[in-house]
């Protein structure tokens, strides 16, 4: 199995910020673009943001201007900076490669609530 370990979730008030991290192996990180996905209660998993190997990014319309995806190649870690959080951002957040081809990790829960 591919190691994908998400962290950084928590409870935050609307308008707040969180930074998620995803650690994986050097090999996986070096050969793949990477992405963040989320699954809200009762909904299907959806793409949040992804970054190709050349650094080109794309975002779901719902998070554009609020979320930023980045990666630290030296630490084999993917990040998601989430600002101006809204209750509708509440979900379990997962990382995977650019095309979501690997097994899913446990994810990290983000709860946005007053």
Q: What is the mean pLDDT of the chain?
A: 95
User: Which run of H or of E encompasses 29?
Assistant: helix 26-31
Q: Distance between CA atoms of 73 and 32, rounded to whole angstroms? A: 11
Q: How far apart are CA 107 and CA 20, in angstroms?
A: 10
The β-bridge partners of 32 are: none
pLDDT of the residue at 28: 84
- Round the CA-based radius of gyration of the chain to a whole number and report it: 13
Residue 78 CA to residue 96 CA, distance in Å, equals 10
Q: How confident is the model over 58-97, as pLDDT tens digits?
A: 999 999 999 999 999 899 999 999 999 999 999 999 999 9
Per-residue pLDDT, averaged over 18-37, amounts to: 91
């Amino acid at each position: 199995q591919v190691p994908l370990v998400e962290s950084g979730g928590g409870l935050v008030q609307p308008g707040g910020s969180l930074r998620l991290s995803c650690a994986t192996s050097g090999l996986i990180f070096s050969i793949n673009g990477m992405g963040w996905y989320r699954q809200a209660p009762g909904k299907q998993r959806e793409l949040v943001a992804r970054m190709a190997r050349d650094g080109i990014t794309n975002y779901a319309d719902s998070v554009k201007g609020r979320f930023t995806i980045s990666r630290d190649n030296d630490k084999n870690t993917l990040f998601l900076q989430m600002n101006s959080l809204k209750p509708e951002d509440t979900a379990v957040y997962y990382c995977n490669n650019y095309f979501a081809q690997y097994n899913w990790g446990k994810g990290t829960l983000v709860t946005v609530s007053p």
